[in-house]
Amino acid sequence: MVGAAPVAEGRTVVLAAGDGGFLMSLSDLESIVRTVSSGVIVIYNDSAYGAEIHQYGSIGLHEDPMLIPTVDFAALATAFGATGITVKSVSDLEQVRAWVGAGANGVCLVDARISPLVRAPYMEEVLQANAKSAAELVSQSD
C-alpha cells in the first residue's frame, strides 16, 4: 500500500487482507498511516488463519494451531492515528460511507468480522483438485 499510494495520487488505495496475514505485518500499519493520504484497509477477521483452516482442517488436521485470538484491528488502527471501524453487520458500513463523505482523508481500517464457517467457492475448487490429485497418486503407487 505504501508503494502504491504515490502512484495513485488523488485516488484512494485499497488493501484487503486476512487477520492472520495482517497481524504478521502489523508494523507496516505505522508506515501506511504516516504516508498514505487516502487509503482503506479491509481486514477479513475470522480469528484464524482461515485459508489454512479450510485447506488443512477439512482434511482432518488439528485446527488449534490455526486459530488466533480475536484482534481488535479497529482499535489498533485508531491508536496509530487512522480511522478504525469494526463491521459486524451491514449497517456498520454506514461509518465507512461517512468517512468517504467527509473526504476519505487518511487511512480507514475496516475490521470486518466474518464467519469462519463460510468457504469461498474457489477454495472448494482447490480442495476438490487436491483430493483428485491425491487419489491419482495413490492409484499410481498401487
* Cβ–Cβ under 8 Å, residues 100 and 127: no
pLDDT tens per residue, range 83-106: 999 999 999 999 999 999 999 999
Task: Please tell me the number of Cα atoms within 13 Å of 63 on its side-chain side.
Answer: 16
**Per-residue confidence (pLDDT) for residue 6, from 0 to 100:** 81
Domains within the chain, CATH numbers bracketed: 4-117 (3.40.50.970)
pLDDT tens per residue, range 26-42: 999 999 999 999 999 99
**Per-residue confidence (pLDDT) for residue 15, from 0 to 100:** 96
Residue 62 has pLDDT above 90, yes or no: no
What the block records as the C-alpha cell of 33 is 498511516
Residue appearing with cell numbers 498514505: 36
| Whole-structure pTM value | 0.83
